[in-house]
Structure 1
Amino acid sequence: MIKPISKLCATLLLAGLLLTSFTLHAAEENITAAKVLSLTNPVNTYGVQIGDKLSRKIVLEVPVPYKIAEGAFPKKGSKSNGVELVDVNVITDQQKAHTLYTVNLSYQAFTNPNKPTVMQLPAEKLALTGGTKAEALEVPAWGFWLSPIVTGGIETAQKNIQPDAMPPLVDIRAHKTRLGVFLSMLIASLLGLLYMNADGNWLPFMGGAFAKAHRQLKRMAKSTAAKTAVEEKQALVYVHQAFNQHYGANMFARDIEHFVSLRPSFKKMKTEIAAFFDASNQSLYAVEPRNSQKIIADLAQLSKQLRDCERGV
């Protein structure tokens, strides 16, 4: 009775060991089940020429604890049969049970055959690390037709060389006209400002009697010397001389109405002209000391206003 029971136990033990082995093997298979979720190749497999960029996008799913080491990805600058890898971009998304790798590869063909040729983007093999055994994911090659830029050799190219096309000429006559108008307006504006504000007589009609009187009075007012009654009377003489020159005779206060009728541009200064003649009479007959410094400065300002009337501004 003991021997059959021992055989039964041994059989059950052996079955349990076999079942455990199969379970562990299946679990390990599930753990290492890394896969390519998607592979996006270029749209066209024809019409590719030298220098064209061809891009591939690969999405990989790698279960934990496996991973793809950084050094396992293709290296930028690597070449294979006339195709160069010019850009590599890897995006890693770590999740609970697995890691997603999005790999963007950009290639360029740097060969120029004489006739259409079949070429391919190289297959890639990505080694996995972190597990109990060596694993790798394989990305298949992708074929395409490379078309020559021209058929034939250098002789054919030399025969078909075209001269450089001259760029079309731009008609700038309208721009020249506008530029001329704008320059004329600028020059006229500058001359106008110069005419209205300059103390010199560089332009015609700038050397009038009041312009000359204003230069003399301005020079006298800027002098640092003390002003006396003598300088004050001389300043009054400058203005009187300018009035006399415009009037054509010696001008007095009673002649103001006649003067502004002859020179309408001075009409707006009629009140100031009358005040000047009144102040001049007071200066000639005054016996008390006066502020000659202020009187000369006021006469310089008055002469500037009369100069503007003289210039019609």
Structure 2
Amino acid sequence: MVWSLLPVAALVSVPLHGATSLSFDTPRAFGYVIGDLIRHEVRVETDAGQGIEAASLPKEGWINRWLLLRRVEVRREGRHRILTLEYQTFYAPLEVKNLTIPGFELQLAGSGERLAVPDWTFTTAPIRELSVLRAEGPSMRPDAAPAPLPTLGPAAASVGSGLAATGALAWWAYLSAWLPFVSRGRHFAEARRVLRDLRGLGDSREALRRGFSCLHQAFNRTSGEPLFIEGLDEFFRSHPAYDLLRDEIQDFFLASYEVFFGEGAPAPSFDLARMEALARSCQLAERRRP
């Protein structure tokens, strides 16, 4: 994880009427990836050393679907009031993208003067490239080595070939869910078995991580590719059977980001029992699809 507390890239000072100055101290505006922390510092100096109305301070919690305000802290140094804000980004872009942390207004106690803290734009990038092929390979591959001649008799070879073909057909039927004893939604059925085995560990952080991982694997296998929160809308369009579970699935992905990237954050409300219930609902939804 790249920590975004270093170095300072911008310091904006704004002259005010009742207040002597307002300084907006920000880090660099580029080079961020999912899970990074971003720290802002607002310094307000007033002639009378006025405080900041607590009701005008930003509230800790989710600002939007990808931005979390983790910490809000106010301290006093002489005539200065110093407001420290710690954000965490959970946006997983497919390419380099500009994002904006919204500004807000502070209100001074006593005078009621309102101070505007501006928006702040930064650049985020994917953790890894989506395409790593930069050059074409050779047009022809070397000839394959000849297969060894069978040493068994014709009858034994025929029986072996028949058994191999039957086994291959049975495996293909299993993967395609053609067999009558193989139901759809098997990926979520496997996730349910893992989640049941995790019950004995309670809702410890390690158990939650393993639970989130196995349910993520079920979504990835169902989708046919790694599935992130930004791709859920497309997932629901291509898999309409899961649309009735949209809110619960979105809550699952948000809670997953808190567990894997929110170090020090409180344990999410998405416990193992809720994961198992979601896996069962997804399994039933897959069975009901046309």
TM-score band, normalised by shorter chain: 0.3 to 0.5
- Please give the TM-score of this superposition, normalised by the length of structure 2: 0.37
Larger Rg: 1
Higher helix share: 1
- Please give the TM-score of this superposition, normalised by the length of structure 1: 0.34
